[in-house]
Amino acid sequence: MANGEFRLRVRYGKTDRLRWLSHLEVIHTLERSLRRAELPYAITQGFSPHMKVAFGPALPVGTAGLEEYLEVWLTRYTTAEEALARLVAATPAGLAPQAAVFVGDRDSSLGAALTIAQYQVGIVGKEASAAQVQAALDSVIAEQTLEVVHKGKNKVYDLARCLPEEARVSDTESGSVIALTVRMGPEGSLRPEVLIRAALAAASLDASVATTTRIATLVETEGGWARPM
């Protein structure tokens, strides 16, 4: 490596009770895991030296993630297998690392590379059947834009850009589940609950979001979408 550092990319989950953590809490917890694992992490230069580490796109409080990513720069080479094993042994189960690989210095950052998020959103209520929810979603998506007031500011989402794939709803025992793919980027990342709540409200359905899980975080390639490792 050019600067003598080794860039390790790690896939982890945010599951079970730990879905109630905020993004900042996830970062602090995993930084402490990296220290407990005694990986030879690099320290940034400067006035307030800290661990050289980067995280993929944030998950809100309450949203689980099955495939989330972080990168840490190491000053000494250790095999990815060994680094992973040490990290697993030092991390609370709900944030358990699943895989680790070294990536090149010139690979784009996680924030820039990860632009596709696939969600599963559980819907419950008296009017939460797949047919009802699908119709509600389709009619909001047909509007092409979604206007949302967030913290006093009006934000307009271009749904054609935000939703690169059709939303599919299927029945479950307690209601339905929506499979939704969202494109993330500097123009803004549409939160699935925002779209779904708008749809349920517009159709006046007696239904609500029960759980949200980001099942995959992906990069866009020429041929389609792929995991970043």
Partner 1 sequence: MTRTDLWNRVEPLLAGVERPARYIDREWGASHCEDAGYAVALIYPDTYEIGQANQAIAILYNALNALDDTAAERAYLPWVDMSSAMREAGVPLFSLESCRPVREFDLVGITVPYELTLTNVLETLDLAQIPLRAADRSDADPLVIGGGPCVYNPEPFAPFFDAILIGEGEEAVTEIVAAHRRAKEAGLSRVETLEALSRVPGVYVPSLYRVLSAEDGSFLGVEPIGSAPARVAKRVVADLDAMRPPVAGIVPFMDVVHDRFGIEVLRGCTRGCRFCQAGMVYRPVRERTADTIVRDVMAGLACSGYDEVSLTSLSTTDHSQLEEVLRRLGKRLEGSGVSVSLPSLRVDAFGVEMARLVSAGGKKSGLTFAPEAGTQRMRDVINKNVTEEDLLGSVQRAFEAGWRRVKLYFMIGLPTETDEDIAGIGRLVSRVLHTAREATPPSARGSIRVAVSVSTFVPKAQTPFQWDAQIPYDEVRRRQGVLRESMPRKGVDLHWHDAEVSFLEGVVARGGREVADVIEAAWRSGAVFDAWTEQFRLQRWLDAFESTGVDPATIANRERSEDEPLPWDHISAAVSPRYLRSERARALAGTTTTDCSFDGCTGCDVCGELGVDIVLGGASRG
Query: Which segments of the chain does DSSP mark as H helices, in order?
Result: 23-36, 80-89, 110-113, 130-141, 159-162, 192-202
Of 90 and 216, nearer to partner 1 (C-beta) is 90
Of 40 and 188, nearer to partner 1 (C-beta) is 40
Rule CB under 8 A: say whether 121 interacts with partner 1: no
C-alpha torsion sign, points 207, 192, 179, 93: negative
- The residue within the footprint of partner 1, chosen from 13, 94, 192, 228 (CB under 8 A), is 94
Please state, in angstroms and as integers, the Cα–Cα distance from residue 161 to each residue in 95, 158, 181, 188, following that order.
31, 6, 11, 11
φ, ψ of residue 138 to 5 degrees: the values are -60, -40
DSSP 47-97: SS--B-EEE-S---TTEEEEEEEEEEEESS---HHHHHHHHHHTS-GGG-E
Point out which span in 47-55, 171-179, 197-205, 220-228 binds partner 1 (CB under 8 A): 47-55
Point out which span in 34-42, 145-153, 156-164, 195-203 binds partner 1 (CB under 8 A): 34-42
Rule CB under 8 A: say whether 49 interacts with partner 1: yes
- The residue within the footprint of partner 1, chosen from 1, 17, 131, 165 (CB under 8 A), is 17
- The residue within the footprint of partner 1, chosen from 45, 48, 204, 221 (CB under 8 A), is 48
* Minimum CB–partner distance for residue 66 and partner 1 (Å): 18
Cβ-proximal residues to 58 (8 Å cutoff; 6+ apart), any chain: 23
Number of chain residues interacting with partner 1 (CB under 8 A) = 29
Rule CB under 8 A: say whether 61 interacts with partner 1: yes
Point out which span in 4-12, 43-51, 137-145, 215-223 binds partner 1 (CB under 8 A): 43-51
* Minimum CB–partner distance for residue 47 and partner 1 (Å): 7
